[in-house]
Structure 1
């Protein structure tokens, strides 16, 4: 049965509103994934076939799509409101994701809500530590064996993260090829893990909670970053983690 949904989040970040605006409208892949930037006007084309319904830089941006392309959703709208704080040195952001889920409403809403928290946290990490550095983006999915609720814990164990390692702690994690990565564990809950190194944001998505494979995205800000090399290395790491499952 079709039913409307609305996910609302508000946060502040220690960068000017213009920096937030650039991050959400350029589509570089700094915190989400690469996408076509919106046409800078109301009525213009937006990412993934959406239409820009509000365009007021650097204060308001909304896009809306009535042809989402997913069997469980028929309408999708993303709305950003950005206001200055502390004489423009900081920004307050209100994010609203709304639309219509057409099937499996509770599961769809739960997944979208929890992903929203992680994506917006990653946005703040990007704005605080990396923006506007150029980014090289890679993403990949684990094998079928990673479609379980225990998959993220298995990935954490392979990284060498202690069970009690909490967000904000430093960690020497075991990455692809046995290479040790000095990182900050910037996000951790039963659904997601976020790692921040001096040159990258590495995100782990425990989507087995919603019936999908574990995913990884790598936002690499090193000048010599290689997307194919990152994808290949982390894919091999994932396949190895779940090769015995």
Structure 2
């Protein structure tokens, strides 16, 4: 049965509104995934065939799509309101994701809500530590064996993360090829893990609770980053983790 949904989040970040605006309209690869910037006017074309319904830089941006392309959703809208704080040195952001889920409402809402928290946290990490550096983006998906709620815990063990390692801890993890990576564990819950190194954000998505394989995205801000080599290395890591007995 079709039913409307609305996910609302508010947060502050220590950058001016102009930097938040740049990130949500042009710098999306730094924290989400690369996408074409919206046409800068009301009525213009937004990402994935959406329509820009509000355009007031750097304060308000909304896009709306009535042809989402997913069998479980018929309407999608993203709305951002940005206000200056502390004389423009900080920003207050209100984010509203709304629309209509057409099937499996509880599961769809649960996944969208938890993903929202992680994506917005990653946006703040990007703005605070890396923006406006150019990014090399890589996205990977685990094999069928990672399509389970236990997949994220398996990835954590492969990384060498202690069970009691919590967000904010400095850690050394085992990356591709057994390489040690020094990082800050910037996010951790039963669904997602976020690592921040000196030059990258590495995100682990435990999507088995929603019937999907584990995913990894790497947002690398090093000037010599190689998406192909990085993708192959992390894909090999993923495949090895989930091919083990």
Question: Do both share a fold (TM > 0.5)?
Answer: yes
Q: How far apart in 1 are the matches of 2:196 and 2:219?
A: 10
Q: CA deviation at 1:230?
A: 1.1
**SS state of the match for residue 138, structure 1?**
strand
Within 5 Å, give how 1:217-232 maps onto structure 2: 217-232=217-232
Q: Which residue of 1 aligns with 2:13?
A: 13
Q: How far apart in 2 are the matches of 1:244 and 1:138?
A: 24
Q: Which residue of 2 aligns with 1:167?
A: 167
Q: CA deviation at 1:28?
A: 4.2
Q: Deviations over 1:164-193 (max 9, x none)?
A: 000000000000001000000000000000
**SS state of the match for residue 79, structure 2?**
strand
Within 5 Å, give how 1:51-200 maps onto structure 2: 51-200=51-200
Unaligned residue ranges in structure 2 (runs of 5+): none
Q: How far apart in 1 are the matches of 2:132 and 2:222?
A: 13
The answer to whether the Cα contact below 8 Å between 1:28 and 1:135 also exists between their aligned partners in 2 is no
**SS state of the match for residue 19, structure 2?**
helix
TM-score, normalization by structure 2: 0.99
| Residues paired across the two proteins, number | 245
TM-score, normalization by structure 1: 0.99
Q: Which residue of 2 aligns with 1:43?
A: 43
**Structure 1: which 4+ aligned runs deviate by more than 4 Å?**
none
Q: How far apart in 2 are the matches of 1:4 and 1:99?
A: 6
Q: Deviations over 1:15-59 (max 9, x none)?
A: 000000000000440000000000000000000000000000000
**SS state of the match for residue 158, structure 2?**
helix
1:32 and 2:40 matched: no
Q: What RMSD over aligned residues (CA atoms) do the two structures have, in Å?
A: 0.6
Q: CA deviation at 1:81?
A: 0.1
1:244 and 2:209 matched: no
The answer to whether the Cα contact below 8 Å between 1:27 and 1:36 also exists between their aligned partners in 2 is no
**SS state of the match for residue 87, structure 1?**
helix
Q: Which residue of 1 aligns with 2:2?
A: 2
Unaligned residue ranges in structure 1 (runs of 5+): none
**SS state of the match for residue 132, structure 1?**
coil
